[in-house]
Amino acid sequence: MKLKQIVQATMAMTALMAVGTQVQAAEVEVLHYWTSGGEAKSVAELKKMMEAKGVAWKDFAVAGGGGENAMTALKARVIAGSAPTAAQIKGPSIQEWGKEGVLANIDAAALEGKWDANLPKVVSNIMKYQGHYVAAPVNVHRVNWLWVNPDVLKKAGAKTPGNWEEFFDAADKIKKAGMIAIAHGGQPWQDATVFESVALGVGGADFYKKAIVQLDPASLTGPTMIKTFDTLAKIKTYIDKDAAGRDWNLATAMVINGKAGMQFMGDWAKGEFTAAGKVAGKDFLCLSAPGTDKAFTFNIDSLTMFKVKDEQQKSQLTLASAVMSPEFQEVFNLNKGSIPARAGVSRAKFDSCAIKSMDDMEATSKSGGLVPSFAHGMAIDSAKAGAIQDVIAKFMNSSMTSQAAVQALAKAAKAK
């Protein structure tokens, strides 16, 4: 069932139901999927901050990277007439929920905290529905990273890869040395994460925008997209046979402990390195995925606010203000691997990967290289994103040709 139908059915049902499971006043219930080591540490900071403000934290954590399970749980709760206070919903999906009339207006918090002045437009636009704030941004994750264990490179006699040729050369050497070249978890959202970095690295930001954001049929089926799938097919040959279903953080752990050499993943992976006590630039390297150093795929986490009873509105606004506070944005993102979404947060405590991310975001926002992550729900609506993700997963798990994949991709891009 589509979101629209679900919500319509829900509204009808809720009208008939007594609202039994609502949270108490001075309590917030927050749905998220931050359950890995680094993520749990990050979210614990928000809980602590809310409790210090006298607001109880009701955790609604649903495991499953990329959030698919969490979104299913959210829909079920909305159907049951008991939406949480806030949920980690991102990008165009915020508009989809906004259209259903279930989101809360948090302009009061935004006005008080001068959000318009403190957020880049690319962030604030996403947080608003029809000109009003309905979501609070938590961070900016960069997706087009390659995480590398330098010891593995050294053992294999490989050099740090700066382009596709060097990347495959390093992968060959790591494989020959008896280690796993590419740590990967065979889950559709992880496949899509690798795919978008490959598309960006093979075709550049303009191609990415035309093909993946604007869904231009000629770009979706043209030679650059064929080359993208050819490259993906080659990458497949460096992934170990146990990858199916593996969680992303377990793949990151393989890089951390030297079982594998490299992983394509957004910088929530850095949260795992940090939680394991590893140091950026020494124990691990954060490289832009091959061919993507002039681009930045952004993924902005945000807590989207649902309509709550009058007595809970105060706690909801407290949550929104806490999320946007410089104190929270600093401590959360130090743990999460991401960078603050707002201006006015000191860079002092951030590591070299985060500083690179901050600088690159600024530079690419001027050069046109700043692009929304498709794999993380920032680029296109959820129906199309889901259909495209299915094609990529099928390609990763079968002997589908690149030619067949691009045709399927163009068809999926029309999904409604």
Summarize as ranges the residues that interact with ligand GAL (CB under 6 A).
Answer: 33-34, 39, 65-67, 141, 248, 268, 299, 301, 376
Sequence-distant (≥ 6) Cβ neighbours of residue 206 within 8 angstroms: 368
Shortest spacing between CB 78 and ligand GAL, in angstroms? 20
Taking the C-alpha atoms of residue 212 and residue 77, their distance in angstroms, rounded to an integer, is: 31
Instruction: State both tokens at 119.
Output: 């957020």
Neighbours of 165 (CB within 10 A): 10
Taking the C-alpha atoms of residue 215 and residue 410, their distance in angstroms, rounded to an integer, is: 8
Question: Of 313 and 373, which has the nearer Cβ to ligand GAL?
Answer: 373
Do 258 and 151 touch, CB atoms closer than 8 A? yes
Taking the C-alpha atoms of residue 30 and residue 60, their distance in angstroms, rounded to an integer, is: 5
Shortest spacing between CB 103 and ligand GAL, in angstroms? 19
Shortest spacing between CB 90 and ligand GAL, in angstroms? 6
User: Using CB atoms, what's the residue nearest to ligand GAL?
Assistant: 65
Question: Of 33 and 306, which has the nearer Cβ to ligand GAL?
Answer: 33
Question: Of 139 and 313, which has the nearer Cβ to ligand GAL?
Answer: 139
Residue 37: Cβ-neighbour burial (10 angstroms; 0-12, 13-18, 19+): middle
Do 149 and 259 touch, CB atoms closer than 8 A? no
Question: Of 184 and 376, which has the nearer Cβ to ligand GAL?
Answer: 376
Shortest spacing between CB 36 and ligand GAL, in angstroms? 7
Question: Of 268 and 350, which has the nearer Cβ to ligand GAL?
Answer: 268
Instruction: State both tokens at 202.
Output: 């093979």
Instruction: State both tokens at 154.
Output: 């050294």
Question: Of 231 and 299, which has the nearer Cβ to ligand GAL?
Answer: 299
Do 147 and 252 touch, CB atoms closer than 8 A? yes
Question: Of 312 and 333, which has the nearer Cβ to ligand GAL?
Answer: 333
Determine the length of the chain: 416
Shortest spacing between CB 227 and ligand GAL, in angstroms? 26
Shortest spacing between CB 67 and ligand GAL, in angstroms? 6
Do 164 and 234 touch, CB atoms closer than 8 A? no
Shortest spacing between CB 54 and ligand GAL, in angstroms? 27
